[in-house]
């Protein structure tokens, strides 16, 4: 009898933290999700430790990993500058705004960045892994798919937040 919660789960020791890291393989693409991805997201959601998180698929390790985090003081321009112009990424952005009733609010955006100039293989890999990866991040409020910067401009973010 297996002691694993999921049949596709593997325990490995990455050597940089105490205890093994749990990786859950994505059935569609074979990509695993490193548990640091979920931990950083929970820190952003609960403690507001970060303004944004950029995730990438490491094809050699066959897993989604955290590539960059942005400090809470950074703005939307810093976030968009953290995304490569010609490579796919997943990203989380914590957007603060004021409602028409003058209430301070925040929405957590999931952005699937898949620029037209990225490799077809990369676009397919990110597309096939997206839904499983999103399920690991409980608390996403808005999802955007962007293929060029105009599809995720600040005006688009503002419009989707309301």
What digits encode the pLDDT tens for the residues 32-61?
999 999 999 999 999 999 999 999 999 999
Model confidence at 122: pLDDT above 60: yes
Q: What is the pLDDT of residue 31?
A: 84
The distance in angstroms from the start CA to the end CA of the chain is: 49
Q: What is the pLDDT of residue 95?
A: 97
Q: What is the mean pLDDT of residues 69-87?
A: 97
Model confidence at 21: pLDDT above 60: no
pTM: 0.82
Spatial CB neighbours of 22, under 8 Å, sequence gap ≥ 6: 9, 10, 11, 35
Q: What is the pLDDT of residue 54?
A: 98
Residue 136 region, left (φ>0) first, then alpha (ψ -120 to 50), else beta? Answer: alpha
Whether residue 19 contacts residue 124, with contact meaning beta carbons closer than 8 Å, is answered with: no
Percent of the chain with pLDDT over 90: 79
Model confidence at 29: pLDDT above 90: no
Of 95, 98, 107, 90, the C-alpha closest to 141 is 107
Q: What is the pLDDT of residues 123-153, one digit of tens each?
A: 999 999 999 999 999 999 999 999 999 999 9
* DSSP classification of residue 151: G
Model confidence at 16: pLDDT above 50: no
């Amino acid at each position: 009898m297996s002691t694993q919660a999921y049949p596709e789960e593997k325990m490995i020791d990455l050597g940089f933290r105490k205890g093994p890291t749990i990786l859950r393989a994505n059935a569609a693409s074979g990509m695993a999700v490193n548990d640091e991805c979920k931990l950083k997201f929970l820190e952003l959601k609960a403690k507001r430790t970060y303004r944004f998180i950029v995730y990438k698929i490491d094809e050699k390790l066959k897993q989604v990993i955290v590539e960059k985090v942005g400090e809470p003081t950074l703005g939307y321009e810093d976030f968009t500058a953290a995304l490569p112009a010609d490579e796919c990424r997943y990203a989380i952005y914590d957007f603060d705004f004021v409602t028409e009733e003058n209430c301070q609010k925040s929405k957590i955006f999931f952005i699937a960045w898949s620029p037209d100039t990225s490799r077809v293989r990369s676009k397919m890999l990110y597309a096939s892994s997206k839904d499983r990866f999103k399920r690991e991040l409980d608390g996403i409020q808005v999802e955007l798919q962007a293929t060029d910067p105009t599809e995720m401009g600040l005006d688009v973010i503002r419009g989707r937040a309301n």
